[in-house]
Structure 1
């Protein structure tokens, strides 16, 4: 999205007559981004959004709690959106108000971007640029249950991840046209379906070029190179909640990638 915003002229009005006043967004900015690396990213959405908004109202509840915390420990600067807690408003009333906030009905929320339909819409215009190198780290902490297509968490998966991993490993998701995900979507890292991490493939213009990374092949800009890290969950890969073995594996993977980026050819 950042690369798209930089390489497009952004307008303030719906008629596209008044350009954004900032120099950064008001004009086309080329050659500012050399490469993009996605880590456990839901390129095509995650079926967890349906679980947490229909079964467990996690997103709405979290924002409510964040607002409460914000008034006591940290200022999230959300007052202009009506997320602030009103004077003399009880905690319970505040959280209930947040759950029915108008923001949840718009597309200006991460819950839309992370949904199957939201990601599909974004993939329709956020296409790979021919002068940018793309990399995707693919993670998984599940395995197929014997005699079934369902995926279950493997040994070593943190307890905070296991419940969500089981849900993702056994439930289908739906697009607005009625089509649904298949069993290939069951493998996951506790937050994102693994199949969604390889690269954008659900846009109206078809999938971006997506290939497995091979250190012996010449890197070509404009296509996604995926690297699978297994076993690894959504938090371990960035250094959270993992065992010493997983934490060290994540450190080595990211260090190697840093060195890989250093070898990219100049513009």
Structure 2
């Protein structure tokens, strides 16, 4: 590949390098890509929509003021502009000849897809194309949504069932680092375009509740439902010049309680699953039942509830492989490591991590989870090996392939005048 820059993108309730006292969201992963690649850690709104996160990601990579687009912002009911990264971009001269590789964990995978599609539309008016992204790597990505989202979202429309402040407070309890909503900078909610995070958590909550954050559907809670994923998959494209890899995590096993044969079987958490995810894993394994179908074609083929029970504690296993709900996208097949000669640009290729490494991977095991459990034998090394192998694959992919038409080099072309003009 010609890209020399890898951008890591966190998911729902994720964090950046300046949050949580510098706790590394991506664990040991970035270190496995040096010195061949330059690595960059993005920070997006942990509850912001896939669209808004993609706009924030673009601004950080190119070095510009965040622009969510005039028509999108007006429709959602939030400000068009937000933070300014001018002079602090990740990549100088970002272009089709100097593209990036984006690696997204969880909902960050959808952010990466949205970024490429907005680039293809030249959303920011800089002459961009889909080729500015050379590869998208999804790690435990809800490419077709997660049924866990319906614990907090309506089953009929896929919108949050609670006020925005309650949604934020509930999500922050997962991070468990803040004492009150919006009061601390230890964890940055990155909701500037909706309302300022004041010193008073109560004032922040009141302003957020008065916004259209839930009503507009412009939030990540909506986007990770099956409803939201179907909408995204209908509107997003898979592009022929890019490589698409998806790594699938799973940490449940089908069986009866304590292995007793006279009890009914269902998916239960593997003993390797983090304790904080076991309740959510059991929810996915047993609920919801969808009295109202989340998509018109629900109930046939792979869109049957029984096939959506296996999970990693947060995302259904079946959803992580490739986008198919709402609209089918090109698929290259199963197997990545050991199948390098079968990888094709423009087609999604997936691999189960448990089969590749001989151990269960829960939702966070491929990011910070392994590093936060130092006494778990082999977990951290499996995490490192995943990214060592991925870095080698990306470094050597296409080497010697005649269809590339010879060697390709990086360009030093610059992107200029990003945010000074009106655009939608």
- After TM superposition, the score normalised by the length of structure 1 is 0.80
1:211 to 1:99, Cα distance in 2 relative to 1, 3 A: farther
Q: For residue 150 of structure 1, report the CA deviation from its aligned partner.
A: 2.2
Q: Can you list the C-alpha shifts for 1:149-202, whole angstroms capped at 9, x where unaligned?
A: 521101121110111111111113540549464111000001100000000011
Is 257-266 or 191-200 further displaced after alignment? 257-266
Assess if the C-alpha contact under 8 Å between 1:61 and 1:99 holds in 2. Answer: no
- Aligned pairs for 1:132-211 within 5 A: 132-146=242-256, 148=264, 150-172=266-288, 173=290, 174-175=293-294, 177=296, 179=298, 181-204=304-327, 206-211=328-333
- Aligned pairs for 1:46-61 within 5 A: 46-53=146-153, 59-61=167-169
- Aligned pairs for 1:34-183 within 5 A: 34-53=134-153, 59-62=167-170, 68=180, 70-74=182-186, 76=189, 78-82=191-195, 84-85=197-198, 91=202, 95=205, 98=208, 101-146=211-256, 148=264, 150-172=266-288, 173=290, 174-175=293-294, 177=296, 179=298, 181-183=304-306
Is 159-168 or 120-129 further displaced after alignment? 120-129
Q: RMSD in angstroms over aligned alpha carbons?
A: 3.0
Structure 2: runs of 5 or more not aligned = 1-113, 155-159, 257-262, 355-359, 405-424
| d(CA) in 2 for partners of 1:78, 1:51 | 23
* Alignment: residue pair count: 250
1:144 to 1:67, Cα distance in 2 relative to 1, 3 A: same
- After TM superposition, the score normalised by the length of structure 2 is 0.52
- 2:69 corresponds in structure 1 to none
Is 179-188 or 142-151 further displaced after alignment? 142-151
Structure 2 SS opposite 1:136? strand
- 1:260 corresponds in structure 2 to 393
Assess if the C-alpha contact under 8 Å between 1:136 and 1:198 holds in 2. Answer: yes
Structure 1: runs of 5 or more not aligned = 11-19
Q: For residue 265 of structure 1, report the CA deviation from its aligned partner.
A: 1.8
Q: Can you list the C-alpha shifts for 1:136-160, whole angstroms capped at 9, x where unaligned?
A: 0000010012364521101121110
| d(CA) in 2 for partners of 1:107, 1:56 | 12
Q: Which has the higher helix share?
A: 1
